[in-house]
Every structure is written in structure tokens, then in C-alpha cells.
Amino acid sequence: MRVFSEKDIESLALGAALLGSGGGGNPFNAMMVTEHQIHQYGPVDIIKPTDLADDDLIVPIGFMGAPLISLERIPHTRELESVIAAIEKDYGRKLKALTITEIGGSNAFTPFYIAGKLGLPIVDADLIGRAFPELQMITTTVHNVKPDACYMADIFGNTIKLNCADLHAVEKYARQLTVAFGSSAAIALHVFSGASVKKVMIAGSISKACAIGHAILNARAQRLNVVEAVLAITHGRHLGEGVIIDIDQTIRDGFLNGHVIIQKTQDCHWQIKYQNEYLFVYENAKRMAATPDIIAIIDKDSGMPITSESMHYGLRVEIIAMPGPDIWYTEEGMQLVGPSRFMESESL
Amino acid sequence: MKYKIGVDIGGTNTDAVLIDSNHNCIKAAKTATTQDISQGFATVVQQVWTEQEPITGVFAGTTHAINSILEAKNLCKVGVLRLAGYQPDTLPSCFGWPDKLKQAVLHQCITLDGGYECDGREITPLNEYATRCAIETLANSGAQGIAVNGIFSALYPPQEQRVRQWIMDDLGNDFPITLSHEIGGIGFVERENAAILNTALQNNLKTGFIKLQDTLKKIGIHSPFYLVQNSGLLMSVEEAFKFPILTIAAGPKNSFTGGARLAGLEHAVVADIGGTSTDVGMIVNGYPRRSYKMSKVANIQLGFYMPDMLSIALGGGSCLTINDGLIQIGPVSVGSALRQRSRSFGGDQLTLTDAAIALGSVSINDVQQMMDKPLAEKVLIQAFQRVYQLYEKMAGANVDLPFVLVGGGASLIPSQYLSPQVILPPHWACANAYGAALSEMGATINTVIKLEDRSRLMKEYEQQVLSQAEQLGAVSPRIIEREVIPYHYSADKIAKLVMTAAGAYNPS
């Protein structure tokens, strides 16, 4: 067990932003909320999946909806606490721990909003190992684990339980409910036993994100090359660098679709295509990286990862690709999140 | 011939220029910034102006507001009314601010019913009785101003506007008030930070701006007086009373535009080399390129557009440390005490200016050369290389862009580095005041439109904003900004529209 305190927040934010592959939302507000909650309720205990008993009750909690909403409608904690209360009531017992749905982006922080207040530890794991645009793109779909039930809540604590056949159905109906909730809702996609956590979750996500963030901060403090530090710790590869000269994006079906052109020289440019997350990188016409690799665009001056909604003309950036979690490179994983799944975006 | 006066009131120096209607720089003056900024202001204006020159306008950029914030001085206590009917308490007002500034500014925050969802539904309606009670509570307990911030007010302003009316009913028309939607976009925290700081600055800045205005009258200049905004456009003194926060980034903007124009360029990278630091920016089509990174002032996120800028702690006053031939320049600087602390002036500290004096690139009477020439040359080569690195970063792939050097420290760069591509323009020392003198008059429309009517509405608003700019004194204004931010989560496809028109100031 280790303790997550105020000094770990920036590392987690940087690591989570990098693992977000451009999606998952900017963790700026999430960082401040977490800092405030740690001031109020103290540091949070981080435990490993192997610390759990097989029959412990564990809930991955996060927000679903448009990342933009979190920039404006600052969270209460009532929406998250209501989800937990509804689950504890239905299951007739207390949770043993919380855990993370998606380590990439601002959802890396969601359980930290209430862990201290509820006195619960957080399991060092998540269901994606990065960020992906759709709700069913999580490890349980690959493992064919159906949701027992999903729970959602709004900022007033109104709670809805969804008994759906699978996560595709959850995606369909939860997306509509989220709009009714003001385009952002607290959601628990699964209620896990300790045994399921060990079986289906990606272990070590918090540690990994913090280690990446720590490497970035360390490199920055010692005036070392931030990109090299990131590549060393993630076993990633450097694809290119340049200046953003064109961004073409549209919102379709609630997703941010588009491409960005990064110019290196007159004759060399990079194109990155995305649907919330960066999915494909081309050098001129040649594909250089593709999902499920984690593609990141990093601001050259500050070493900050740049999310897809905050890209802008004139930024000087580096492009890197890092291997994603192993599960996404299996046959079932590639079907769910591999290049062919996003071919429509590729032909944009 | 008609003339304009541009003034830049910086932290160290106050500069002024007199320009004619062809934008020629006729006279320039520089003096040390005074504690009461109107004194230095009076000095430089009198140096560049005589009664023979009729004046169309006096335009000033000032660091008054930014310095108040950085020093947490002369600020008033602000009460905050949040309109957020679900009563969130996870992010208190002024969270993460420097303690000293927070203590100087924040009185109390009260969260009330109200706020909107992204699609325009009210989170809860306003509660008039509770709001009026909260206003009374803030005023009775010593709040000297009130900032109002509602969830999604940037898209839906009506609730904030009703609350302003209630505040004015109770506390009168002169009580400092800021509605967050009038100075910020999406981003609750950034918008609230800007609204609070704006309210805190209002009283003091009002006094300062009135003093500058009165100074001009005393000198005998009765033409309009304007302040330069962060965007580079002019703002009337009355507007500046309401929105002083919009003047905080005028300084670098003025240097960059002024530098490029002095060199006769529409596209350039400009370095403003001062006493303590060097700022490098890029001019595209005559305007500073904006930064899209979140702007920070005193470590506070404000969510404003600022000029895209790279800075290093290197300037004329930068201290030199030399060990076994290893030269370190800065980051510490003697700043405005150059003439007391620099070796060449009899002080105890070796500075970059000492190196320039030794090499003869700066000549000042009655000073001693305190370094040997080869060493001085090494120091200045290193200094130029560091400034040039910023050029390379800023220019990126545009390797042919000219590099213009301005600011009090620009002459430190040895002449051997100057070339058709690296330019020291005339009046380089007063580029910031020249930039202020060139500031344009503009009008901005900031509204929400329905996307189905987009093309019709855009045309209508274009006409509207152009004629507004013209009425304010802009000559043949053109649209300089047109931003449509679709709001895709709302049912009836709406978008935020920001449109600005501007032209040279020349009232008929």
C-alpha cells in the first residue's frame, strides 16, 4: 500500500494526460478539485488488486459525457456519493474500495474526489490503460464480462440503475441520459468482486501514470529533454516534430472528429486523425502509427501533453507513439479498438 | 498635419513618441517610471509635444494593473456571488492563488440558486429574496466590490444581468461590480478569477486613469485619451474603469507591433530586450500572434488570449557570473538599479551592460570599462545566441522571417550580428510607445447565434460591428476576428460568435 498525497497530483495529471492519447479531457479542474479534497479529508490510500479478498465489493467510478462540461459545471461530490450509496443499498454491504474507469485524462482523478471523504482506498488499476471514445471499449468487453448493472447520477443526486444486456446497450441509453443530465453524469459501469478486479482490470495504472508524470517533472526541473524522458519510461518512439498549421474538426454524434496537420519542413508534414483520441499518424501519405498505440502530441516548450480539444494553430509540438496495454493487441482487442474499427475516421 | 502620442508606462521606464498621420516617428522620450505614474507620464509627454502640434489622440499602455496584482497592492476586497443551484463546494473561490493576493482580495463567496446547463435550461431559477439578502450580507460585512459568476453564464447571461440590477438597486451605480460573462468565455474557474481581479482593480485603476487624463488637461492636451487593451485595440477611459483587467498584457503587444512597424514589416519575429528579461513574439499580418495556451498571471489562470510569447530572464541588467571561463548570464538582474549597481557606473555587480560598454557597442559618457574585450565579446555572443534560440523556436518552419530587436537592451547586441535579416530599427528603444501610438479603434460583438441562420446572421453582425467601429472613430474598419464556436450539445444548434472590427483611429 502507498499513500497518494498532494505532491502526487501533478505527476498523475501529466501522466494521465499523456496516456489519454489526446482524449479524456484536460485534467486542470480535476487536479484542483482533488487538491481541495485532499486538503479537506487527507491523503488517499492506494492498494494493489492483489490486496483484495475475492468477495470484496469494488466500484470503478467516473464521469461520462462531454469533457467541456467539467470546465464549466464544477463537480459536486453528491453525484458520485449517490452512485456509491445506491450500490451499497442494492448489494446490502459496504464497498471495500473504489477504482478508476479510465486512466487517460480527467477521469483518472474521479475516485479521488470522494475516496478521502468516504474513507475508502483506491485500487491501482483501470479498465482501459489509456482513453478510448466509446463506453464499451474497456477490458470487460474483451473478457466478455457483462455488466451486473450500471448506475448513473446527476448533480442533484438523482440516481438511475440500468439493467442492460451488454455495454453496447449501456452506451446507447446512457449517452441519452447523460444529455438529459446536462451532458455529464457520474457513472459506475460495473460492480466488481475482488476476484473480477484481479481478472479483468489493468493493474498498476495509477503507478504508471505517476511514474510518467514524475519523469516529465524531473526532466523539466533538470532542464533535460522531456520527450526523451517520456520515451525512456514508456518504451515509446519519437515520430516527428513541427508546428501545427491546420486543424480541421467537426463534432459528429457527440464526438470530436478531425485531423491536424503539423509541418516540419516545406516538403514534410505530419497528419494526425482523431475521434476524441488521436488514432492515426501519417508522415506525408505513409501511416507511421495507429491505435491501439498511444499517440501523444507534446508541447515543445513546456513538455505538456496537448489534448485534442485544446490544439491550436502555431503550437510547436513533438509527436510520439507509445505501446498501449497488451490486451488491446489481442485478436478480440484489435476488433474492438484496432485500426479497422476506426476506418471511417481514417477515410475522413 | 495631425499627430498622435503613444505612451508606454512600464515597470522600469515610461516612454513616449509623437507620430504624424503618416505614422512617422517625429519625437521620442524616455524617463524612469515614477511611484505616482502620472509624473513620469507628464515628463515624457511634455518632452515630445509642443502646442504647435495638434493632437488627435493620446494612447497609453500601462503595467499599473499587472503590478497591482503582482504586488497585491491597492486592491479592494471582493465579495463573490456564485450562481450554481446545486451548491458545489469542491472548488472554493481563489483556490490556488498566492496567499498574499488571496488575503488582499477575497472577502467571502456565497453560492446561490441559479446557473444554466449547457443547453440553456436553468439548473435552478434565481431566488430573488435570497440573492438580495446575500448582497446585503456582503456589503454590510465590508465587501468593497462584488463579482458575479454563474454556471454557463458565458453562453447565457440573463441571470447575471438580473443580479447586477439587484446590486445596483441596493448599493448604487458606482459600487464596483463585474459580471463574469462580460470578461470571460467557457471555463468557470478562469472566468471567476478574472472577474474577481477585475473587481479588485476597479477603484484604484479608476483613480489612476483619471489622474492621467487630468495630467493631459493640465499640460494643455484636450484630445481624447485612450488606453491600450490586451487585444491591441483602444479602450475609452470609461470602459477601462469597468474592465481594468483588460489592460494587463498591453506592454508586450505594443513592443511587438511597434517593433515590426518601425522595421516596416507585416510579418516578423520581434524581441523586446529589457533590463531584466527578453520577450519574443511573432507578428503576422501586422498583429501579434495569439497564444492559445492558458494564460497565467501571478500563477492564476485567467483564460484570456494573450500574445504568443517566449521569455527568458536576460536583459541589460542581467548579472554575470564567470568561473574558469564559464559564463552565466542572469537569471538575477539589477533591474532599474543599473546605474547604481553596475560596475561601469561604480557599483559592485558585473552586468551584461558592462560587457557591452567594454566592447563599445554601448557608449555612455563618464563610465569605466570594467571587462577585457575578448571576454566581453564571449559574453555578448552567448547572450545573442540565447535570444536567437527564442527566434528559432518562435519562427518554427518559417526560417526566412526577419528578426527585429527592440527595447532598452536591444543595443547590447553587437553590430556584427545585424544583417538584412536581423534588424535594429530606428527608434528601437521606444518601440513599445510607438506600438501604443499605432493602436487601432475597434468594436466587438460577443453573442450567441443559431447555426441554421448562420450565413444571414454573420452578414448582419458584420455590418453591425463595422458601423459600431466607425462610430467610435475607426477609419475604414475591417473584420479582424471572426470566431464561431459551435455548441453541439444544445438541442437547437447554437454557437457563440465573437466578431471584431477595427481600423486606424481618426475621428471626423
Could you read off the pLDDT of B102-127 as tens digits, one per residue? 999 999 999 999 999 988 899 999 99
Q: CA-to-CA distance for B431 and B434, rounded, in angstroms?
A: 5
Residue A256 has pLDDT above 90, yes or no: no
Mean pLDDT of A168-179: 90
Looking at CA atoms only, how far is residue B187 from chain A in angstroms? Answer: 5
Kindly report the number of other CB atoms within 10 A of residue A195's CB atom.
15
Q: What is the pLDDT of residues A209-225, one digit of tens each?
A: 999 999 999 988 887 88
Closest CA to A260 of A249, A268, A276: A249
If you measure CA to CA, which chain A residue comes closest to B117? A182
Phi, psi of B176 (to 5 degrees): -60, 125
If you measure CA to CA, which chain A residue comes closest to B85? A156
Per-residue pLDDT band at A271 (split at 50, 70, 90): very high
Phi, psi of B266 (to 5 degrees): -95, -25
Residues 6 or more apart whose CB falls under 8 angstroms from that of B455 comprise: none
Phi, psi of B226 (to 5 degrees): -125, 155
* Structure confidence at residue A254 (pLDDT): 59
Q: Helix, strand or coil for residue A47? A: strand
Distance of CA B271 to the CA centre of its chain: 17
Residue among B187, B289, B308 minimizing CB distance to A72 = B187
Angle between helices B64-71 and B188-219 (to 10 degrees): 130
Give the mean pLDDT of chain B: 89
Closest CA to B298 of B58, B9, B68: B68
Kindly report the number of other CB atoms within 10 A of residue B36's CB atom.
12
Q: What is the pLDDT of residues B439-494, one digit of tens each?
A: 999 998 877 777 777 788 889 999 999 999 999 999 999 988 777 766 655 555 67
Residue among B87, B90, B486 minimizing CB distance to A37 = B90
* Structure confidence at residue A147 (pLDDT): 87
Residues 6 or more apart whose CB falls under 8 angstroms from that of B338 comprise: B275, B316, B317, B345, B351, B353
Element housing A170 (H / E) = helix A167-180
Look at B371 and A160; give whichever has higher pLDDT: A160
Contact B350, B316 (CB under 8 A): no
Residue among B154, B189, B396 minimizing CB distance to A316 = B396
Q: CA-to-CA distance for B426 and B262, rounded, in angstroms?
A: 6
Q: CA-to-CA distance for A157 and A162, rounded, in angstroms?
A: 16
Chain A contact set for B188 (CB, 8 A): 71-74
Element housing A9 (H / E) = helix A9-19
Q: Helix, strand or coil for residue A3? A: strand
Classify each residue of B336-370 as buried b or exposed e, where b means 16 or more C-beta atoms within 10 Å of its C-beta: bebbebbbbbebebbbbbbbbbbbebbeeeebeeb
Q: CA-to-CA distance for B308 and B288, rounded, in angstroms?
A: 7
Q: Do A301 and B310 touch (CB under 8 A)?
A: yes
Residues 6 or more apart whose CB falls under 8 angstroms from that of B74 comprise: B68, B204
Numbered residues of chain A with Cβ closer than 8 Å to any chain B Cβ: 28-29, 32-33, 35-37, 66, 68-69, 71-78, 113, 155-156, 179, 182-183, 242-243, 245, 251, 254, 263-266, 299-302, 310, 312-316
Contact A164, A90 (CB under 8 A): no
Looking at chain B, the whole-number percentage of residues with pLDDT higher than 70 is 95
ipTM of the complex: 0.90
Q: CA-to-CA distance for A25 and B299, rounded, in angstroms?
A: 22
Which of A214-223, B123-132, B289-298, B334-343 is the most confident on average?
B123-132
Phi, psi of B493 (to 5 degrees): 45, 75
Cβ burial, residue B218 (10 Å; 0-12/13-18/19+): exposed
Q: CA-to-CA distance for A166 and A96, rounded, in angstroms?
A: 25
Chain A contact set for B396 (CB, 8 A): 242-243, 263, 314, 316
* Structure confidence at residue A347 (pLDDT): 47
Q: Do A37 and B84 touch (CB under 8 A)?
A: no
Q: What is the pLDDT of residues A103-156, one digit of tens each?
A: 999 999 999 999 999 999 999 999 999 999 888 999 999 999 998 899 999 999
